[in-house]
Amino acid sequence: MISQQSRSIKSGAVPDLLKDGDVFLTKRNFLTALLASVLGAMLLFKSADLGEGIRKGLSVCSYSVIPALFPFMALSVFICKSAAADFFGIILRPATRLLRIPEHCGGVLLSAVIGGYPASAKNINDLVLEGTLDRKTAGRMLCYCVNAGPPFLISAVGIGVFGSIGTGFLLFAAQFFSAVIIAVFVSVFSGEEKDSGIAKPFFRKSSAECAVESVISAAESCFRMCAFIVISFGVLEIAFAGAAFSAFAEKPWLKALFSGFFEVTSGCFASGETGGFSAIVMAGAIASFSGISVILQIAAVTSESGIPLFPFIVSRFFHAVLTAGTLRIFLVFFGGSVETFAVKGGNYEAILSASAPAAVSLLCMTALFLLSVVPPKSEKEPLMLRIKRRFLQKDF
């Protein structure tokens, strides 16, 4: 009986550990149990540090992450799900041809610019599940579509960390330039045709259904991101309070790199303690790398579709280096404008006053604009002719 169960383990089958009183203890089970025990003891004896870190994480989420990211996440999903995707697919046709991706992925490119980390990955994953995008092309798109959105870089990092809108725009411009370089590189050397999508018809949902789905999807993405931020702040607070990692806490640049390797938000906020242009370069590199927490979120989002993640993981390192180098060049020419656009007052208050109402208003106005521009579908009339006819109407 033992030999049969041993063969079942070798073949990949999961045995009943309690069957016939036999319990199998593998190295994986032992290491997992040991790690859980150590973490449990650490959380028990370091509850004060853990609580302090969690409070910091909740503060960052409530004052900067959610107000800055949630509206734009909802907007990016709405663009990809609604009929607006057809419109932007035509507008961005030159870009999709250059990057050798299907034309209907133009909305995904736009959502990658405005939505941020989890939203663009989810949009790509949905296309694969719908059968309108193959997994290999989706893996290439993850390399340049998973970026920090402008709300995070401009509001949360630029204003919240460095107190400067100009810094936020430099961070966004450098990351965008780096993403374009990676997009062209992986597309040119992909060896695929420009339209590698699976030819399968799909139908757009109504605008009301897309609006509801976009809000729910953005809420799920924000909750997942905030959960990682909170737990990362808590664990890092315990680590820096201990003797093993006390050296990291004493050196701000080392603390920022260590924090950013695991979680992007904590790393960007820690980089603000470094000071000087090096802090801005470090924040840009951390934002482009995205951190282990974001990589795990992308892996969870794409687990059902089976998109290959190895190219995406490798691209994170090149993305960080390219962004850091581009930022350094930008700061040489535009470094003086960083202080010109500085925001006076507390960082968190500036975030609230600058991003939350404006982001919600922008979301509402943009959604209304998209709904009014894209006319109802007609099987006999092309999209551009319908839009032209709508604009020529007197009551528009």
* Segment 142-196, tens digit of pLDDT: 999 988 888 888 888 888 888 888 888 999 999 999 999 999 999 887 765 544 4
SS3 annotation, 176-193: HHHHHHHHHHHHHCCCCC
Instruction: Check residues 203 and 19 and name the one with the higher pLDDT.
Output: 203
Record the tokens describing residue 122, joined without a space.
Answer: 């989810």
Residue 342 DSSP SS3? strand
> Do 347 and 160 touch, CB atoms closer than 8 A?
yes
Torsions phi, psi of 197, nearest 5? -75, 155
> Helices H, strands E: what count in the chain?
20, 0
Stretch 15-31: mean pLDDT, rounded? 59
Task: Say what the alpha-carbon torsion angle 222, 215, 75, 160 is, to the nearest 10 degrees.
Answer: -30
CA distances 278 to 252, 281, 285, 324, 332, Å, are 11, 5, 11, 9, 12
Residue-wise pLDDT tens digits, 120-144: 888 898 889 888 888 999 999 999 9
Rounded distance, CA 81 to CA 203, Å?
A: 10
H or E stretch at 131: none
pLDDT score recorded for residue 353: 39
Work out the pLDDT band at 198, boundaries 50, 70, 90. low
Segment 14-39 shows an average pLDDT of 65
The mean pLDDT value of the chain amounts to 76
CA angle at 166 for the pair 163 and 168, rounded to the nearest 5°: 75
Record the pTM: 0.72
Nearest to 309 by CA among 300, 320, 322: 300
Contact 330, 173 (CB under 8 A): yes
